[in-house]
């Protein structure tokens, strides 16, 4: 199956390039790649909607993703635009809660996705690699939370 191995190598390379998983060893990337999928999204296409069940997370390989939340008046407001290398949707995969925002392809995108089921399978099959992946996601979330905390503090001053 040369196609599957080419795809696996492409996913491995994208995981290495995204910068999110610096704790993984070179061999870990090839093993982890088997649990991720690569997909293409067209500009304007919904990736997921606020309130949906969180069944997968994504990493942007190319393109941009718009993050949107519904305000008190029921209007959808763009709160961020994410670019290459950024992970999103990981909160719902880690905590099992519903999506806290909508994500829409702001341009044509290529995305790596990791499903909740695939993460569970990785935990069973390759627990050390899965632990490194989960730790990397937790560190990324922690950095994002610290950044938001700083922004909130700056608004209060």
Q: CA 64, CA 53: separation in Å to the nearest integer?
A: 22
Q: Give pTM, 2 decimals.
A: 0.87
Q: CA 70, CA 79: separation in Å to the nearest integer?
A: 10
End-to-end CA distance of the chain: give it in Å, rounded: 60
The pLDDT of residue 1 is 45
Domain ranges of the chain: 4-155
Nearest Cα neighbor of 32 from 142, 87, 114 is 114
Identify the CATH number of the domain defined by range 4-155. 2.60.120.10
pLDDT tens digits, the chain, 157 residues: what are they? 457 788 889 999 999 998 888 888 988 999 999 999 999 999 999 999 999 999 999 999 999 999 999 999 999 999 999 999 899 998 888 888 899 999 999 999 999 999 999 999 999 999 999 999 999 988 888 888 888 777 767 777 6
């Amino acid at each position: 199956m040369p196609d599957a191995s080419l795809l696996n190598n492409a996913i491995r390379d994208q995981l290495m390039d995204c910068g999110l998983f610096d704790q993984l060893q070179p061999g870990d990337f090839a093993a982890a790649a088997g649990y991720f999928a690569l997909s293409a999204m067209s500009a304007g296409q919904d990736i997921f909607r606020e309130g949906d069940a969180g069944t997968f997370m994504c990493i942007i390989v190319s393109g941009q993703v718009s993050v949107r939340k519904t305000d008190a008046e029921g209007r959808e407001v763009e709160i961020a635009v994410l670019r290459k290398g950024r992970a999103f949707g990981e909160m719902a995969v880690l905590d099992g809660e519903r999506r806290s925002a909508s994500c829409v392809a702001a341009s044509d995108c290529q995305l790596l996705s990791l499903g909740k089921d695939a993460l569970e399978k990785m935990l069973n099959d390759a627990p050390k690699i899965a632990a490194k992946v989960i730790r990397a996601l937790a560190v990324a979330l922690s950095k994002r939370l610290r950044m938001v905390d700083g922004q909130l503090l700056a608004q209060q001053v």
